[in-house]
Amino acid sequence: MKPLYTWGGILVVVFFSVVGDILIARAMKEVGDVHELWERSGLWTVVGRVLSNATFFLGVTAMAAAFFSLLFALSWGDVSLVAPAAASLTFIGNAFAAKIFLHEKVDRRRWIAAVLVAGGVALLAG
């Protein structure tokens, strides 16, 4: 029963992290290149554009949900399993989600990178 809870918790963390990353990435694409925007209309326009974007706040909410579900998952399972597993599965999940929802061209080199980085993070945190 305990491993089931732990892995269930890990999957919830991964789900909310991926949703948060995708929403924030989409929101920032809607805002546009902040360097150009800054040069054209100043810092406060950039801040205003970001803070008036509803997708951005949904993304921040999802990231907060990911943070709190991580706290719960950590109380069910070992840190040495939960933290690296959640971090590396988030890399893989993001590669899939970015391809489907953000229409990024996730070519072979990006797939290899996602797998390598996921493995590396798992080893470093483990």
Partner 1 sequence: MTFRKYLVLAGVSVFAAAGDSMLAHGMKQTGSISLHHLQGVILAVRNPWVAGGIVLLLAFFAAYTNALSWADLTYVLPATSLGYVLLALVARFALHEQVSPMRWMGIALISGGVSFVAGGPALTSQHHAECSAFAKDAPASSAAPASALSSGAKR
Binding site for partner 1 (CB under 8 A): 21-22, 24-25, 28-36, 50, 91, 94-95, 98-99, 102-107, 109-110, 112-117, 119-124, 126
Least separation, in Å, of the C-beta of 96 and partner 1? 10
* d(C-alpha 101, C-alpha 109), whole Å: 19
Contact 77/9 with Cβ under 8 angstroms?
Answer: yes
Least separation, in Å, of the C-beta of 11 and partner 1? 19
Give the up-direction half-sphere exposure of residue 82: CA atoms within 13 A in the CB hemisphere: 23
Closer CB to partner 1, 11 or 31, in the complex: 31
Least separation, in Å, of the C-beta of 8 and partner 1? 18
What count of other Cβ atoms lies within 10 Å of the Cβ of residue 113? 14
